[in-house]
Amino acid sequence: MQDAFASALTNWPIRGIPEKPGAWITAVAHRKLIDYIRRQSTRNEKQDALEHETRSATRHHDDEDVSADEMSKTYPDDRLRLIFTCCHPALNREAQVALTLRSLGGLTAPEIARAFLVAEPTLAQRLVRAKQKIRDANIPYEIPPAQVLQERLEPVQAVIYLIFNEGYASTTGEKLVRADLCAEAIRLGRTLCELLPNEPENAGLLALMLLHDSRRNARVTSAGELVTLEDQNRSLWNHEQISEGIRIVKETLRSRSVGPYQLQAAIAALHGEATKSEETDWRQIAALYGELSRLMPTPVVALNHAVAVAMSQGLGQGLSMIDELGKAGELDGYYLFHAARADILRRLVRREEARDAYQRAIALVTNQVERNYLTRRLRETI
pLDDT in tens, 276-299: 999 999 999 999 999 999 999 999
**In the predicted structure, residue 191 carries a pLDDT above the cut 50:** yes
Helix pair 93-103, 153-168: axis angle to 10 deg: 50
Identify the three-state secondary structure at position 367.
Answer: strand
Give pTM, 2 decimals. 0.72
pLDDT in tens, 134-185: 777 776 666 677 677 788 888 889 888 988 888 888 776 677 788 888 898 8
pLDDT score recorded for residue 293? 95
**Residues 193, 244: contact at Cβ < 8 Å?**
no
pLDDT in tens, 293-347: 999 999 999 999 999 999 999 999 999 999 999 999 999 999 999 999 999 999 9
Taking the C-alpha atoms of residue 226 and residue 8, their distance in angstroms, rounded to an integer, is 19
Amino acid at residue number 359: Q
The CB-based long-range contact list for 287-293 (8 Å cut-off, 24+ gap) reads 288/263, 291/263, 292/260, 292/263, 292/264, 292/267
Burial-class residue 197 by CB neighbours within 10 Å (0-12, 13-18, 19+): exposed
**Residues 70, 81: contact at Cβ < 8 Å?**
no
Bridge partners (DSSP) of residue 220 are 226
| Band of residue 77 on the pLDDT scale cut at 50, 70, 90 | low
Quote the DSSP letter at residue 257: -
CB atoms within 10 A of CB 121: 10
Taking the C-alpha atoms of residue 201 and residue 193, their distance in angstroms, rounded to an integer, is 9
Which residue would you say has higher pLDDT here, 272 or 10?
A: 272
| Band of residue 4 on the pLDDT scale cut at 50, 70, 90 | confident
Quote the DSSP letter at residue 143: P
Identify the three-state secondary structure at position 226.
Answer: strand
Handedness of CA 198, 201, 204, 205 (dihedral sign): negative
